[in-house]
Amino acid sequence: MRRLRFLVAAILIGVAPILSLAVEPDEILDDPVLEARAREISAQVRCVVCQNESIDTSNAGIARDLRILIRERLVAGDTDQEIFDFLVARYGDFVLLKPPFKPETWALWFAPFVIAAAGAAGIFVLVRRVNRRAAAGPGQLSEEELAQIEKIIQNEKAEADS
Amino acid sequence: MKRFLLFLPLVVALGIGAFALWGLWADRNPKEVPSALISKPAPEFDLPPIPGVDVPGLKRADLTAGGPPVLVNVFASWCVPCKAEHAVLSRLVKEKGVVLYGINYKNKAEDARNWLADLGNPYSRIGFDLSGRVAIEWGLTGVPETFIVRGDGTVVYRYVGPIVGADAQKKVMSALREAGWKEAGK
C-alpha cells in the first residue's frame, strides 16, 4: 500500500512539469498579479486546435498566440470580461470551456435538474401508490371466487383420501 | 393513456440511444465548429504583400468593394494539405473564373515566394500575415481554411481543411452560388 502510494506520487511529480510546460518562459509577464490573471483566463479558454484542452496547457501554435494576446490585452488594461468578449467575438461561445448561461443554453443547464425532478416525481408517485394499496389491506374475494376455492379444497381432500 | 405510459421508458431509452449513436457516427466531424463570423462583416485588417511577390496585399476594403463573392484562403508553404488544395484552387480560378484572395499564414517570405513560384500563383491578392494576428481576427483554427465573402464584405461561409475531393468542392461551389456567384459565360 505504502509502496503504491509512493509510486503514484512519483508518477504525479514526474508528470507535473510536462503538464505545466505549455506556458513558455518568454510569455510570462513580469507583473505577478497580471500573470496570475492571465493564467486564470487561459485555463477557461478552449484551444481551438486540440479542442478538449485549455490554451493554458496546450502546445499548439494558435494557443500560444492567444496566450500572448491575452497577456497583451491585460497589460493594456482590459478587464477579464473584455478579454472573454474579444475571444467570443472571433471564435464564438465554443471557445469558452464553461458554456455561458443564456436562453440558448438553458436546455443544457437545466436538463439534469429537470430529469432528476421527473425521476423523483415518478418514484414518489410509485411509492405512494404501493403504500396506499398496502394500507387498504388485501381485497375481499367475491362469492364466485370463494366457491371456486371451496371446490379446489374439496378436490384436494378427495385425492388425498383415495 | 396508461398504455402509452408503459412505453415511455422504452421511448426515452431509444432517444438516449439515438443521441449516443449520433455521437459515435463515423461521418460526424466533432471538429466542425460553426464560425462565429458567419453572416457578420469581415474583420478589420490590413496586410502588406509578401515581399518579392508581384500581387498586392489584402485589406478589409478589398472585400467590401462590391462585385461577385470571393474566396479568402488561408495558407502556408509549411502546410502539406495546402499543397494538395493548391491544384483545386488553381483550377477554380482558371476554369471557373473564381476570384481568389490569400492570407499567407506565419510563413517566411522566402518560403512563401518559392512555394508560389514552384506551384504557380492563383491568388490575385495575398496578405502577408507573419505574426498570425490577422488570422486570429478571422477566428482561424488551423490551415488551410477558406472563407467565402460577399461583395459587401459579409462572411457567408467557412470551409475548414483542404478543399480536396468531389464532396468538398461541391460544398464550396454550392456555397459560392448561394452567395450570388455566377460562372462566367452562363
**The CATH number fitting domain A2-100, selected from 1.10.10.10, 3.40.50.720, 1.10.8.640, 2.40.50.140:** 1.10.8.640
Q: What pLDDT is attached to residue A18?
A: 55
The pLDDT of residue A162 = 72
Q: Which residue of B has its CA nearest to A90?
A: B139
Cell, residue A8: 503514484
Residue A19's pLDDT is 55
pLDDT of residue B15: 94
Per-residue pLDDT for B186 more than 60? no
Taking the alpha carbons of A130, A131, A132, A134 in that order, is the dihedral positive or negative?
positive
User: Which of B74, B129, B141, B155 is most worth mutating to test chain A (most A CB atoms within 10 A of its CB)?
Assistant: B141
Q: Where are the domains of chain A?
A: 2-100, 105-161
Q: Could you tell me the residue ranges of all domains in chain B?
A: 30-178
- Please state which CATH class domain B30-178 belongs to: alpha beta
Residues B8, B5: Cα–Cα separation, whole Å? 5
Size of interface A-B (CB pairs under 8 A): 43
Distances (CA, A) of A98 to A45, A105, B153: 8, 11, 32
What's the average pLDDT block by block, 10 residues per block, for chain A (162 residues)?
79 65 80 92 90 88 93 94 94 90 89 94 93 79 88 89 76
Tens digit of each residue's pLDDT (9 = 90 or more) over B106-164 = 999 999 999 999 999 999 999 999 999 999 999 998 899 999 999 999 999 999 999 99
Asked if B146 and B81 touch (Cβ cutoff 8 Å), the reply is no
The answer to whether B34 contacts chain A (CB < 8 Å) is yes
Cell of A68: 500572448
Question: What pLDDT does B31 receive?
Answer: 67
ipTM of the complex: 0.81
pLDDT at B54 (0 to 100): 92
- pLDDT the model gives residue B105: 96
Strands B125-129 and B46-47: unpaired
pLDDT at B24 over 90: no
Scan for cell 403504500, then name that residue.
A131
Instruction: Region of B66 please: left (phi>0), alpha (psi -120 to 50) or beta.
Output: left
Q: Does B142 touch chain A (CB under 8 A)?
A: yes
Question: Between β-strands B40-41 and B154-160, what pairing exists: parallel, antiparallel or unpaired?
Answer: antiparallel
Minimal CA separation from B94 to chain A, in Å: 32
Q: Which residues pair with B59 in a beta bridge?
A: B46
For residue B77, the Cα-to-chain-centroid distance in whole angstroms is 17
